[in-house]
Chains A and B, each alone.
Chain A
Amino acid sequence: MREGPVAGAEQGPEDRAKAGPGVDAGGGPKGGPGGKGGPPRRRGPTLAQQEARAGLALLSPTLIVVVTMVVLPILWTIVIAFQDLRLRNLRTRLFDFEFTLKNFDTVLTSPGFLEGLKVTLIYSIVGTVLSIALGLVAALVVRKPFKGRTLVRASMLLPYVAPVVAVTFVWQIMLNPELGIINAIGVDLLGWKESIPFLEQRTGTLSIFGFDLGVPTALIVVILYQAWRYFPFSFLFILARLQALPGELDEAARVDGASPLQRFWRITLPQLQGVIALLTVLRFIWTFNEFDDIFLLTQGGAGTEVVSVRVFRYLTGRGDLGAAAALSLVLALALALFLYLYFRFFVGRVKEADAI
């Protein structure tokens, strides 16, 4: 596969060395074949063609891997979503192209679909906002150098780099009603009447000033976990941006008598707008598609079944490949829609506000 073009590429520099000054001095790689009044046309490819070939040759392993393992599978998912394909009829039905809309009917009318979409949306929005807010606070407090800052910064990145299976397992045990330290502290020191099964409880009651409020316990815990695990990502990027900010503006505001809080709101935060907007989009996409964390923490139980966990259930639990593909397409389309709305209404408005 690679031999032909690579051999061509190896000729390249020699040709360039020989032909360089005479043929297309200054024309560079863009010089086309057969320029006016040039020397008689050569048999071989031109420099531009050679470079293009070399480029494609070097890129071909990447293209092959990405196209066969990512692009084609995505397209194939669309096909599967319209097939009646199950794990047990995989051998016979894989190339049976009788298209049907049945999968979408199954998926969209199944009980709990809308609930799942709602949970996904709440999880993504609150999780994104919390993780970015925490990241911003963390970046602000370690902005200026102090003794041990490197260590503090490294420890703040730990939740993000540690293996997801290990950290979810620790959280599970920490929150466990019998063994966990949180419940032990709650019952012994904070006077809880009984331990709380944080990850198994769909709705708990929270008593504030005599009012009993129903709260979705497991969903809240999962969102807090998500903020804990992913704030380092925002922290890292906001800190990098903070440290590249020019100090003059801040200094000028200080001289003019702006207090530290005023300087933060009026000077620093506006300069972070770009990186925060980027993080919002990235975190929202990744949280919306999130599977590992919720699956490992609750297996999607107790009101935390996000759409990706439902896809997994169709795929392995029922072996219904068609329905799994259909639901994953619905998930991707929903994400595209929300991103469109975000850019259309939110980013658009910010730009208009800037223009005024």
Chain B
Amino acid sequence: MSRTDVGTGVADHAPTPKAPARRPARPRPPLSREVVETRILGVLKWITIACFVIATLFPFYYMVELAVRSIEDVALDPGALWPPRGASLAAFGEVLRSVDDGGQGFLVFLRNSGFIALTSVVVTLVVSILGAYAISRLQFFGRRQVHFLFLAVYLFPAILLAIPLFVFFTRIGLRGSLFGLILVYTSQIVPVTIHMLRNYFDTVPESLEEAAALDGASRLTIIRKVALPLAKPAIMATSLFVFMIAWNEFLFALLFLVENRENWTVSLGLSQLAGSVEVAKTTLMAGSVILTIPIIVLFFATERLLVEGLTSGAEKG
């Protein structure tokens, strides 16, 4: 991506310095359509960028602002853009403390969310690396069809899938367990991660693996020692993708875990408490900051990697 940036940058910036240089030679250039449009669009562009940045960032700023204000303060002055009477981190303490200590128990929710998301990452990676390698490298009957079957799954609404899974896990008594949920997440994400990883494997030349095979390495050794190290960037991007999906997921967490507060994820806890009148909205705002921060940190740390992983192949339209 960076290479393209530089390329277009040079090409597009070239005419700009020319304009002022030309001015002394020709005192009043006629206002051609080109000039008028370029100027207007130039101004509009910056206004648009400003609008977009404000619209996308403001809700997150507002989230933090409310989290550090007291609820009485917000009720008195809901329009304040800056905490007028000093900020306090009290809400974070309250939301994290366990219920016995008068808090909301988000620490437990954080532990659950972290466990579910990380386990989902590991399980999904193992399953989809093997699958993606097979689809990318090996000739076997039906490999194309399998690929389309996986993607066709995404046409069905999640709520349709939720019904039989709800029935099934209720019947076998696994509803309410974190493991059932991890299985569901894995099955939902695997089609996409296989797609992402396969795209990457397709770009890695096979010759290295063939050399290893000639040296007598077994198939699993080849995957572990040759293919995986080469696919590291794609695997990183895929892990992040899975983590974000599993951390943010709501519907299945609601259906599976709602009855047992000990097992709630952060998303579920926040949504359940948001409707109650006993918990102050500012306390919950601290909860939503806690829910959002891991994702934002991960995202900013790895934005480029993730974006390239997701849109690889999209350039060709």
Residues of A within 8 A of B139 (CB): 29-30, 48, 51-52, 55
Give chain B nearest CB distance to A256 CB in angstroms.
11
CA distance A164 to B127 in the complex (A): 27
Residues of B within 8 A of A291 (CB): 157-159, 251
Write the chain B residue with the least CB distance to A177.
B78
A59 x B274 contact (CB < 8 A): no
Residues of A within 8 A of B231 (CB): none
Q: A236-B311, A243-B315 are in contact. Are A65 and B127 (CB under 8 A)?
A: yes
Within 8 Å of chain A (Cβ to Cβ): is B143? yes
Give chain A nearest CB distance to B175 CB in angstroms.
11
A70 x B161 contact (CB < 8 A): yes
Give chain A nearest CB distance to B261 CB in angstroms.
16
Stretch at the interface among A12-20, A125-133, A215-223, A347-355: A12-20
Checking B12, B79, B130, B268 against A144 with a beta-carbon cut-off of 8 angstroms, the contacting residue is: B12
Chain A: interface size category:
35 or more
Give chain A nearest CB distance to B153 CB in angstroms.
5
Q: Which residues of chain B from 288 to 312 have a CB within 8 Å of any chain A CB?
A: 288-289, 291-292, 295-296, 299-300, 303-304, 307, 310-311
Checking A63, A176, A336 against B146 with a beta-carbon cut-off of 8 angstroms, the contacting residue is: A63
A152 x B49 contact (CB < 8 A): yes
B8 x A165 contact (CB < 8 A): no
Checking A17, A164, A171 against B248 with a beta-carbon cut-off of 8 angstroms, the contacting residue is: A164
Within 8 Å of chain A (Cβ to Cβ): is B21? no
Which of B's residues lie within 8 Å of A, judged by CB?
1, 4-6, 8-9, 11-13, 33-34, 37-38, 41, 45, 48-49, 52-53, 55-57, 59-60, 62-63, 66, 74-75, 77-79, 81, 126-128, 130-131, 133-135, 138-141, 143, 146, 149-150, 153-168, 170-171, 183-184, 186-188, 190-191, 194, 213-214, 216-220, 222, 244, 247-248, 250-251, 255, 266-268, 270-271, 274, 281, 284-285, 288-289, 291-292, 295-296, 299-300, 303-304, 307, 310-311, 314-317
Which of A's residues lie within 8 Å of B, judged by CB?
6, 9-10, 12-14, 16-17, 29-30, 48, 51-59, 61-63, 65-66, 68-74, 76-77, 80, 85, 87, 90-91, 94, 137-138, 141-145, 150, 152-159, 161-167, 169-174, 176, 178-181, 183-185, 188, 228, 232, 236-237, 240-241, 243-244, 247, 251, 257, 259-261, 271, 274-275, 278, 285, 288-289, 291-292, 296, 308, 311-312, 315-316, 321, 324-325, 328-329, 331-332, 335-336
